[in-house]
Amino acid sequence: MSEHEKTYGVLFAGVGGQGALLAAEITAMAAVSGGYEVKQTEVHGVSQRGGSVETHVRFGKTVWSPVITPGRADLVVGLEKLEALRFAHFAHQSQGTILVNDHEILPGSVTNAAETYPHEALTFLNDKGYRVITIPASEMARDLGDGRMANVVMLGAMSNLLPIEEKVWLDTLRKRIPEKYRQPNLKAFEAGRKMSDPPKG
């Protein structure tokens, strides 16, 4: 099956305020511009700041449903380590990738959150046999001037792992990001793109 006949599934997981929905929307727009049929779910979870959020994007030649079933995602994009762990089971065990922002947000509603947080989440996922790529996206975004751009750093890293041309991603960002934020976000995207290896042919 060629890459243009395959249906791709990308699940974004984070907490409210991290921009998971924006990342999913940009991905969907880029896929449409790349010539694919696209379906995207609405946000599942508590989308206000601090609550767990997931959203699915599926694109391909023909797409019947926006929902990714567990074990079938090509990519799980975790904007935070706990959320990556929470949704890891959606990744295809042998062909999928879990792309993780190496960043922890302690749940404010959990007693003794610092003690109970799964700080070794990445080691656990690697031990389970998943392909895990870790990006210090929040740190990189802060270094670029705004920690809120971590989602766009992650998009840049993710862009190497999907069959959508770089030009399409950049054009989509220029269309979707307001002008006053556009240049910093383009820099964030490029920084993230340099952090992941393109798929091997």
pTM of structure: 0.89
Provide mean pLDDT across the span 153-180: 96
Kindly report the average pLDDT of the chain as a whole number: 89
**8-193 CATH choice from 3.30.460.80, 3.50.4.10, 3.40.920.10, 3.40.630.40:** 3.40.920.10
- Name which residue leads in pLDDT, 158 or 118: 158
Q: Which of 147, 14, 140, 148 is nearest to 81 (CA)?
A: 14
At residue 201, the pLDDT reads 45
Greatest C-alpha distance within the chain: 49
At residue 177, the pLDDT reads 95
Q: Does the pLDDT value for residue 32 go beyond 90? A: yes
Residue 185, classed as helix, strand or coil, is helix
Q: Which of 13-27, 45-59, 163-177 has the highest mean pLDDT?
A: 163-177
Domain ranges of the chain: 8-193
Q: pLDDT tens across 121-161, in order? A: 888 888 888 999 999 999 999 999 999 999 999 999 999 99
Lowest mean pLDDT: which of 46-50, 166-170, 174-178? 46-50
